[in-house]
Structure 1
Amino acid sequence: MTPAKLAQTLPLCRANLPGDLNGGLNVAILSLPITIPLGALAFAPLGPEFIQAGVVAGFQTSIVGGIVAALTGGCRLQVSGPRASASLMLAAILAMALNDPALAGLGVDTPQAAIMAAFIATFAAGLIQVGLGLARVGRGIKYVPHPVLSGFMNSVALMILVGQLPAALGLDGVKPSQLLHRLGDIRPGAILVTLGTMAAMYLATKKKSKLPPIAVAFAAGTLLHYLLAVVPGGPAMGGLVGQVPAQWPSPYALAEAVSLSWTAQGTQLVLHLLPSSLVLALICSIEALFSAAAVDAVTGGRHDGNRELIGQGLGNIAAACFGGFAGTGAPMRGIASFKAGGRTRLAGVFHSLILLALLIWGGSLLADLSFAVMAGIMMMIAVNMADSWAVNAMRHGGRSFVADFAVMAVVAGISVSVNLPAGVAAGVGIAMIMFVMRMSRPIVRRVLDRRNTRSLRVRPLHVERRLQEEGGRLLLLELDGPLFFGTAESLRDKIDGLVSGKPRVIILDLRRVPDIDSSGVRVLQQTARAVALKGASLALAGLISDSARAGWLRKSGLADAIPESHWYATRDLALEAAEDLLAGDDAAAAHAHPLLSGLDPEAIDHLTERMTLLVLQDGGVVFRRGDAGDGLFLVETGFVAITLPGTPGQPPVRLALFGPGTFFGEMALLDGGPRSADAMAQGEAVAWRLTTDDFHAFRHTHPADATRLLLNLGHELSERLRLTNTRLQAVE
């Protein structure tokens, strides 16, 4: 935090000290019945004799990790501590470490070495989180496929339910796999307390209690436990937490790690733990960012995702050094703090300090807490955590969601049967393969030729007829989707099939192509060379020369196969250039203007004397939209573009481009209406203007030739309409 930011924050902290203290107290009460069982859950693979050590580790996570994350994170009211997903991940890591021969390389007894493996995994996960934050991927980290998250959350929920069964049945310290052999030892009182706790939490949630449902369930379950315990001849009750060591936070885990004699086997263990640490970091990061977003929705704040990752990572590094494990933010903690008056980072700090006070001076209180109460709370958390998205999607969407349901099922199945890191890794891998398969659909949206698409360039009819006859030799392929390794080969196969028709030009329309990777570039290069051997050329449309994409394509060497002279900013420019190539000599051949065809030479001379010669520079205005219509224009040389004004900040929209041997503005000659668009020279141009008055005067002196001119006008318009109809029929 910068000095200026600190100076702004301190007055707010002082002003809201009572509210932050109350918020921290409420969250500490809320966190207590979660911290204890999650700590025990994390160390469960080590056996029942390590339950107390797990509880202490859970407290250190909330205390040390919570303070560091609160002060350095990117969400002001985020309160960090143990989460079910992180605790189960750590339990999975401990289970894998216990079965790893490299564990012996740490040179200490097996349980202590396993705890050291947990320290290494948590420390590494924290470093990864800091790295992700520094790399500014705070937004992108949330884009994990939902079926993977759904499978992960469902497997976590299932494992919590199974893991809490022994405590719910009063069989503390018994592994779930041993339950069938201990059915005779079940304690009915524990079952009643568990069910009562679950019912209290359910009712508090349904009735929208002002108190947090967990706090209500904790109080009701504890009261029920002690009421049943004092009933003469009452049911056998479940076990209590027992004495928790009053351990002041100290970086003993870091000191022990430094003092170890690291061997090659120890280094190998670290490498074995890295994939699991990566999964742990991703899970904690996703949970933290989702939690920050949920807190923002209630408080109206706005978190910094990258800073939040850095803060959570530093918190986990600190927790690991002090003997804790990976923690992360939880929406219920931050929201509870806000509703109780918390407004600054001090609320999270107070939450940690109050838990520290309970650990040091509240040993007798902690010792009398019932495992059955906490089992009921954890079971309800598991029920609420379960994600029914996949089932609902299958019910309503049918086969459309079969693949997503399969990914969810695979993740859940592998997570439960093998371990959580393996399940997540398998799910991400399968989701990536499915994504590539979905994106690998044919990239060619449709294939058009000059007979059913054309540029906006208006050409003389004899050129139009030639282009219509040769139209099959100008092909335009509309591409849709990324051009990458999954689609590039299908594009080449498509073009290979089209080359047999002996096209002259093939245009690839890239407007709907969001990305091109190196495989796409390679295929474009190979295809351009193959097409050239067949006597054709390849052109690209929708490629702006000064864009980042064009710059990357230059660096990739694409211009060696497709010259930049064949790169066009718009589809229209590409079609116009291809039409010029296809028209050949007809486009440049001199012909009498079709509007004057069949007129007597003397009449043409007389008409020309009445017409006005316009010599236009580039951008020269012929007329503006809304101007009075006073005649038509015949283009002699150059080009005149007909445009409409664009939206603010955008260039004009081109409707047509008239070149030598064409005319425009004829409707004004016939009906005298106002101009419906702008007409401007594109480059230098020469045109003749025939006004309405001049035409009427010509009609009086040369009635037969005037009639002929009108017939030519009608013939030209009808031919263009017929060609348009032909193109429309081809498109259909």
Structure 2
Amino acid sequence: MKKKILWTGRYENYSLGSFQKDVMSGVIVGVIAIPLGMSFAIASGVDPEYGLYTTIIAGILISLFGGSKYQIGGPTGAFIPILFGIVTTYGFENLLIAGFMAGILLVLMGIFKLGGLIKFIPKPVTIGFTSGIAVTIFAGQIPSFLGLTDVEKHESFIRNMKEIAIHFDSLNFYSILTAGICLVTMLYTPKLFPKIPGPLIGLLFSTIIAAVFYPGQVATIGSTYGGIPNTLPKFVFPDLTWERVQLLIQPAFVIAILGAIESLLSAVVADGMTNSKHNSNRELVGQGIANMVTPLFGGIPATGAIARTATNIKNGAASPISGVIHGVVVLLVLLLFAPYTSKIPLASTASILMVVAWNMSERHVFYHVLKTKTEDSFVLLITFLLTVFVNLTVAVEVGLVLAVILFTKRMSDIMVTEKALPNPNNKHEKVESHIVSDTHDCPQISIYNVEGPLFFGAAQSFEQTIMKTINYKPRVLLLRMGRVPFMDTTGESYFLSIVKNFSKNGVVLISGIQSQPKEVLIKTGLYEFIGEEHFFDHTGEAINYALKYLKKDQCLGCKHFAFRECETFSGLKKNKDETRAMSTT
């Protein structure tokens, strides 16, 4: 029997066999992360070694301090448009500061337990900006894939497309061949050899072909960025000033929000694959620590990587140790083989990023939401287009605002306020709205079925419907609120207006009110103003109470017969009894 090392939490029942699984999965994921780390860094507008530094430091820290057993952290494709925009606008040094500030924000989000709030971001928004990012990444790699020269990179998608068109005549056949070899190798390697990482094999094979058969004919990492140093990064604390904090707070906030979304989505995917459960707030703290430390060594912002996390799980990872080993593997490769990376063609890294973009595009989900032709389709499309043609910040802001507005409209549409009366054909005399008519409606008691959340989006409609009753001044207003699950302060304000106006000439009764709306009324004092004796658990009790307020002289001759007592009040029953007595005599 194997001797087990008993740790608590994520390392409970950890054994030598578990460690062996972690080593195997960590090595495989580490090998996969090397070309991705360099490619993401290049696409983000920084030197490739910074991608490796991020993979090493952030990968280790996210595994150690995060809230998921299987999360693999590092640079990801989702950050590319944001980081490139920050580098272009503010410079590399300010990118590091923005990343450091984002780390602080992530830690605060975890400490204040905001991890659960990420789930409230609508899926059309996340799918929209993820697909938009994928298009941006894919389009950004076209120049390197085609080997175009003198192409200037811009933040604007349209300007980048114009650059491709202008310089299309500089197309390089060798670059296309190299990219094609890498692409085909990458796609077919997993089918032939499932355990071998396709991106690494594609990168190695295409690099060897280019170096042996047509050296100097394609742009490489070395010819474009210089050699990658095989040394550890230096520690440098960023020059933080209040002016820089003010300048970079918006990009830092965007990095933090996107990092939180990506990492928690990745953790959810890991939960689904392993039947485990992550700690979302701890995950945010871990992401924050990683993003605070990584910039001190020149690393770019990092988050949870869904594809690498899934690969980690598929290869048998048992604990966060696999993520630590993945970082150590990248570190060893950096120290031992960094000089050889200068020969890697940019066309090969372009192929890798194009596949990443294709895989992250969520094209099936995108089409599924789009074909529903609902408000969600509109939010999805707007978020997607703004991500591609404007920027991610605007896209997320507009997408969220649109989603909130449309959600508010939906909620207000389901708010129902209808007049109702007991149904005499129902043996329980259930109070229903469809039986009210011009000839069957009590002039002195108005009963309303109120259904749906009474919040800012529906409160005014609720008030306007009720206020129509006041025009003919009934004696009693009975509101059946058993199906009102929620009331906000705006709803309470309109509710107060109804009560005050109606109380001048009559009495307001409430039946079946739920706990949350009742608590709101108690806190604002409206419960006391209405009077505790005017609240009832059941509508029948409220109706019996309401009948006491009827002016009997107004009931004489009434033919509405809204309640079973109406025959007596109207005098009809008395007349019937007298007629029966006379006929008997």
The answer to whether structure 1 residue 497 and structure 2 residue 468 are counterparts is: yes
Q: For residue 222 of structure 1, what is the aligned residue in structure 2? A: 204
Q: Does 1:189 align with 2:174?
A: yes
Q: Give the match for residue 95 of structure 1.
A: 88
Question: Does structure 1 conserve the Cα–Cα contact (< 8 Å) formed by 2:124 and 2:369?
Answer: no
1:314 maps to 289
Match of 1:532 in 2: 503
1:77-126 Cα shifts (integer Å, max 9, x gaps): 111011111232222233343xxxxxxxxxxxxxxxx2232122212222
Residue in structure 1 matched with residue 271 of structure 2 by the alignment = 296
Matches within 5 A, 1:76-91: 76-91=69-84
Secondary structure of residue in 1 paired with 2:497: helix
C-alpha distance after superposition, 1:276-299 (max 9, x if no partner): 322221211111111112112222
Contact 1:455 / 1:573 at 8 angstroms: preserved in 2?
A: no
Structure 1 residue 243 displacement after superposition: 1.2
Following the alignment from structure 1 to structure 2, what is the Cα–Cα distance between the partners of residues 21 and 219?
A: 20
Q: CA deviation at 1:488?
A: 0.9
Give a deviation string over 1:45-97, Cα, whole Å, max 9, x none: xxxxxx42xx2221222111111111111111111011111232222233343
Residue 14 of structure 2 aligns with which residue?
A: 12
SS of equivalent residue, structure 2 residue 448: strand
C-alpha distance in 1 between matches for 2:340 and 2:210: 19
- From 567, 572, 576, the equivalent of 2:544 is 576
Structure 1 unaligned segments of length 5 or more: list them.
Answer: 45-50, 98-113, 459-467, 588-660, 662-711, 716-732
Asked if 1:412 corresponds to 2:380, the answer is no
Q: Which runs of 5+ in 2 are unaligned?
A: 1-5, 154-159, 431-438, 556-567, 569-576, 581-585
- The residue number in structure 2 matching 1:174 is 151
Asked if the contact 1:166/1:179 (under 8 Å) is kept, the reply is: yes
Per-residue deviation, residues 342-368 of structure 1 (Å, max 9, x unmatched): 211111111111111222222123222
Q: Please, which of 354, 365, 368 is the counterpart of residue 343 of structure 2?
A: 368
Counterpart AA for 1:501:
Y
- Between the aligned partners of 1:209 and 1:575, the Cα distance in structure 2 is 76
- In 2: Cα distance, 1:506 partner to 1:352 partner: 69
Query: Equivalent residue for 1:427?
Result: 399
Q: Deviations over 1:11-47 (max 9, x none)?
A: 72655332222211100111111100111122x2xxx
CA 1:552–1:532 in 2, change beyond 3 Å: closer, same or farther?
closer
- Distance in 1 of aligned mates of 2:448 and 2:12: 63
Q: State the partner residue of 1:61.
A: 54
Q: How big is the shift at 1:405?
A: 2.9
1:327 and 2:297 are equivalent in the alignment: no
The DSSP-based 3-state class of the residue aligned with 2:115 is coil
Instruction: Check the 8 A contact 2:207/2:344 in 1, yes or no.
Output: no
Query: TM-score when scaled to structure 2?
Result: 0.83
- Give the 3 Å change call, closer, same or farther, for CA 200–583 of structure 1 in structure 2: farther
Residue deviations 1:233-279 (CA, integer Å, cap 9, x gap): x9943424451123414431x2x425xxx4xxxx3442242233222
TM-aligned CA deviation for residue 573 of structure 1: 3.2
- Name the structure 2 match of 1:604: none
Distance 1:573 1:286, change over 3 A: farther
Aligned to 2:227: 243
Rate the CA distance shift 1:287–1:13 in 2: closer, same or farther, 3 A.
farther
* Paired residues of 1:187 and 1:238 also in contact (CA < 8 A): no
Contact kept? 2:220, 2:343, Cα under 8 Å: no
C-alpha distance in 1, partners of 2:541/2:293?
A: 61
> Normalization by structure 1: what TM-score?
0.67
Correspondence 1:447 to 2:422: no
Offset, 1:338: 2.9
Instruction: Specify whether residues 226 and 201 from structure 1 end up closer, same or farther in structure 2 by C-alpha distance, changes over 3 A only.
Output: closer
Identity of aligned residues (%): 26
Q: 2:478 aligns with which of 507, 514, 517?
A: 507
CA distance in 1, matches of 2:367, 2:13: 51
Structure 1 residue 532 displacement after superposition? 1.8
Does the 8 Å CA contact 2:211/2:343 hold for their aligned counterparts? no
Give the alignment partner of residue 162 of structure 1, picking from 117, 126, 139.
139
- Greater C-alpha Rg: 1
CA RMSD of aligned residues (A): 3.3
Equivalences, count: 536
Question: Equivalent residue of 1:539, what SS?
Answer: strand
Pick from 312, 315, 327 the counterpart of residue 337 of structure 1: 312
Answering whether residue 239 of structure 2 is matched by residue 257 of structure 1, we say: yes
- How far off its partner does 1:169 sit? 1.4
Aligned residue type for 2:19: L
Q: 1:196 to 1:478 in 2, by over 3 A?
A: farther
Match of 2:489 in 1: 518
Structure 2 counterpart SS, 1:257 = coil
Alignment equivalent of 1:136, drawn from 108, 113, 128: 113
Alpha-carbon distance, 1:586 to partner? 13
Q: Please report how far the alpha carbon of residue 140 of structure 1 lies from its aligned counterpart in structure 2 after TM superposition.
A: 2.3
Alpha-carbon distance in 2 for matches of 1:201, 1:584: 88
Residue type of the alignment partner of 2:484: V
